[in-house]
């Protein structure tokens, strides 16, 4: 059985092995292989077998550790509902371990009575991702030493300790690392919830900036960790949705930069806290009335919004007129009555909080007041949106004359054509600033590369620093993109599943475009909007 003495003993052992790991890495000249591929591995405690290959839902592994052992950097381990006992060790791998909801079985539950449940102590980076699990009835839910994993949407209940993080001093590569913990519920952990780390947008008593009251879990004693909601929550025992008399403060309490993903509507445009956040079994948002405007852009609570950003929203049902209220006061004053679902506030002050709401009016004159949203603009002293450099590997597709061609072939075309969103099928968002390709920029050398995996299943390889247009209107460098961030396309937006830095540099040529009269072009099958050079 583990205790605090065992923790310190383990730390001492880790310091010793960390020296060996660093020395071995230096002797071999780096970490990992030359290329990064991505596979999905599936785990099912009920129907799986560790002798399977794990590559399809019909050939699942039985244990999560088998999935981790088999996976390589960039892979995703999908875990079906069930009870998983024993310790799980990420082994330093840059992989995603993702819990999945499935019918009445709910969400996967992890426990290891008397010991650790999930361990990160092999120098894991933010690309080691754990999300959507319940962790219960254990000595310590998550143990972290000398590592900085990304942890989100956990429900950590009825353990002795929640998450503990230690920095292994004296091992230079591990200094300054810190886990990113968000969108999680900590409840009834006898010895404490957090030690040596902090959590953002989470339910935890006494933590500044987080929610503190009662998470209003349905019935944790019987294994139901759904959130109560007056608008509706899933009842697995009877496979139906029911209404509660109260609403959990964890609904819509997650990081406003996190996409609600698969949460059913109405979801408030913001992810729920806890294991079911972002899943099809997330409890519903009760505050939005029938016919109310929703999905604000910028998102409610957004920060560093461009000073020339335009506001938009999804209209309520049957709305024909939209009354817009906007200003620096709360409640904001009325400014416009209009037929469109986009409002241009003009040039806004920097580093300022703005409030806004949209009242929807239907054809019969019924008025449905909107919720008040807010966002904060970028600092007035901030530089103009940056441009990328180096950019894309040769096989990356770009849209020219309505055709997706490899970026390296653009310079071979006799008459370089136009990049025009109107030629992309089913486009509903005209982008008049796109124009003729003027120049193909080419660089040869050694470059750091990132793989951006999108919800469509498509992937874009990005060399060095390059900037993407997000749903909120901000330009964000590839290495600063977060899981679930939505990128702009001519059709709307698409979410990010993961952004993984390749373990080895890319050696060869990379390319960028310059477009006449524009500062952007369209990349990949999904037509992602990126900056030119």
pLDDT tens-digit profile of 454-499? 888 788 888 877 888 888 888 888 877 887 788 988 778 888 888 8
For residue 6, the model assigns a pLDDT of: 59
User: Which of 349, 377, 405 is the C-terminal boundary of a domain?
Assistant: 377
Question: How far is Cα 273 from Cα 154, in angstroms, rounded to an integer?
Answer: 8
* Secondary structure of residue 181 in the 3-state scheme: strand
Domain around 397: 391-531
How much of the chain exceeds pLDDT 70, in percent? 81
Q: Which of 63, 62, 60, 131 is nearest to 99 (CA)?
A: 131
Residue 334: the pLDDT is 95
Asked if 444 and 498 sit in the same domain, the reply is yes
CATH value at residue 458? 2.170.16.10
| Alpha-carbon separation of residue 8 from 4, 143, 165, 376 (angstroms) | 7, 12, 12, 44
Residues 303 and 427 reside in one and the same domain: no
Say yes or no: 31 and 151 in one domain: yes
Pair (396, 525) in one structural domain: yes
Judgement on whether residues 399 and 506 belong to the same structural domain of the protein: yes
CA distance 356 to 339: 17
Look at residues 165, 185, 200 and tell me which one is the last residue of a structural domain: 200
| Residues 456 and 519 occupy one common structural domain | yes
Same domain, 367 and 422: no
Residues 402 and 522 grouped into a single domain: yes
Tally of domains in the chain: 3
Single pTM value for the model:
0.55
Q: What is the pLDDT of residues 294-316, one digit of tens each?
A: 778 787 777 778 788 889 888 88
* Within a domain: 62: no
pLDDT of residue 178: 82
The string of pLDDT tens digits covering residues 3-34 is: 555 565 555 555 444 444 444 433 333 333 33
Q: What is the reported pLDDT for 80?
A: 96
Same domain, 453 and 358: no
Q: Over the chain, what is the mean pLDDT?
A: 81
Do 395 and 330 share a structural domain?
no
When pLDDT is cut at 50, 70 and 90, the band that residue 415 belongs to is: very low
Q: Which of 132-136, 228-232, 506-510 has the highest mean pLDDT?
A: 132-136
Assigned domain for 55 exists: no
Residue 380 CB neighbour total at 10 angstroms: 11
pLDDT recorded at residue 503:
64
- pLDDT digits over 42-100, tens only? 999 999 999 999 999 999 999 999 999 999 999 999 999 999 999 999 999 999 999 99
Domain end position, chosen among 168, 200, 232 = 200
Whole-angstrom distance, CA of residue 271 vs CA of residue 263: 8
Query: Are 357 and 465 part of one and the same domain?
Result: no
470 and 415 within one domain:
yes
CA distances from 10 to 5, 115, 131, 175 (A): 9, 12, 25, 18
Q: Is residue 502 part of a domain?
A: yes
Which of 21-25, 310-314, 387-391, 505-509 has the weakest average pLDDT?
Answer: 21-25
Answer yes or no: is 213 within a domain. no
């Amino acid at each position: 059985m583990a205790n605090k003495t065992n923790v310190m003993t383990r730390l001492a052992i880790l310091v010793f092995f960390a020296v060996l790991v660093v020395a071995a890495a230096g002797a071999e000249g780096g970490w990992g292989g030359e290329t990064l591929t991505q596979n999905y591995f599936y785990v099912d405690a009920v129907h799986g077998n560790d002798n399977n290959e794990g590559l399809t839902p019909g050939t699942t592994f039985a244990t999560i550790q088998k999935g981790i052992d088999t996976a390589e950097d960039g892979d995703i381990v999908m875990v079906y509902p069930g009870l998983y006992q024993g310790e799980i060790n990420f082994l330093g791998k840059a992989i995603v371990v993702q819990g999945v909801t499935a019918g009445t079985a709910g969400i996967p539950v992890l426990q290891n009575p008397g010991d650790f449940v999930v361990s990160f102590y092999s120098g894991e980076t933010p690309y080691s991702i754990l999300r959507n699990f319940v962790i219960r009835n254990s000595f310590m839910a998550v143990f972290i030493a000398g590592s900085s994993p990304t942890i989100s949407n956990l429900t950590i209940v009825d353990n002795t300790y929640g998450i503990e993080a230690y920095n292994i001093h004296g091992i230079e590569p591990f200094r300054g690392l810190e886990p990113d913990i968000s969108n999680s519920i900590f409840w009834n952990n006898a010895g404490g919830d957090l030690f040596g780390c902090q959590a953002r947008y989470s339910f935890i008593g006494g933590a500044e900036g987080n929610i503190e009251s009662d998470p209003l879990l349905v019935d944790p004693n019987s294994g139901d960790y759904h959130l109560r909601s007056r608008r509706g929550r899933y009842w697995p025992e009877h496979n139906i949705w029911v209404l509660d008399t109260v609403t959990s403060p964890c609904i819509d309490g997650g990081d406003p930069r996190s996409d609600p993903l698969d949460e059913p509507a109405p979801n408030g445009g913001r992810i729920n806290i806890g294991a079911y956040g972002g899943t099809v079994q997330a409890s519903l948002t009760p505050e939005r009335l029938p016919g109310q405007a929703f999905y604000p852009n910028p998102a409610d609570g957004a920060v560093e919004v461009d000073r020339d950003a335009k506001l938009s929203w999804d209209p309520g049902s049957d709305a024909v007129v939209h009354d817009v209220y906007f200003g620096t006061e709360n409640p904001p004053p009325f400014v416009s009555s209009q037929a469109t679902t986009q409002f241009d506030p003009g040039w806004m002050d920097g580093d300022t909080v703005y409030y806004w709401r949209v009242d929807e009016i239907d054809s019969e004159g019924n008025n449905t007041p909107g919720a008040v949203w807010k966002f904060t603009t970028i600092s007035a002293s901030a530089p103009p949106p940056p441009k990328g450099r180096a950019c894309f590997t040769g096989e990356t597709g770009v849209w020219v004359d309505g055709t997706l061609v490899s970026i390296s072939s653009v310079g071979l075309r006799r008459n370089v054509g136009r990049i025009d969103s109107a030629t992309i099928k089913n486009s509903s968002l005209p982008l008049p600033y796109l124009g003729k390709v003027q120049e193909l920029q080419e660089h040869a050398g050694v470059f750091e590369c990132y793989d951006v995996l999108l919800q469509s299943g498509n992937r874009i390889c990005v060399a060095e620093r390059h900037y993407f247009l997000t749903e909120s209107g901000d330009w964000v460098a590839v290495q600063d993109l977060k899981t679930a961030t939505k990128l702009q396309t001519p059709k709307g937006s698409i979410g990010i599943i993961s952004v993984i830095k390749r373990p080895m540099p890319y050696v060869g040529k990379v390319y960028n475009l310059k477009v006449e009269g524009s500062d952007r072009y369209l990349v990949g099958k999904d037509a992602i909007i990126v900056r030119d050079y």
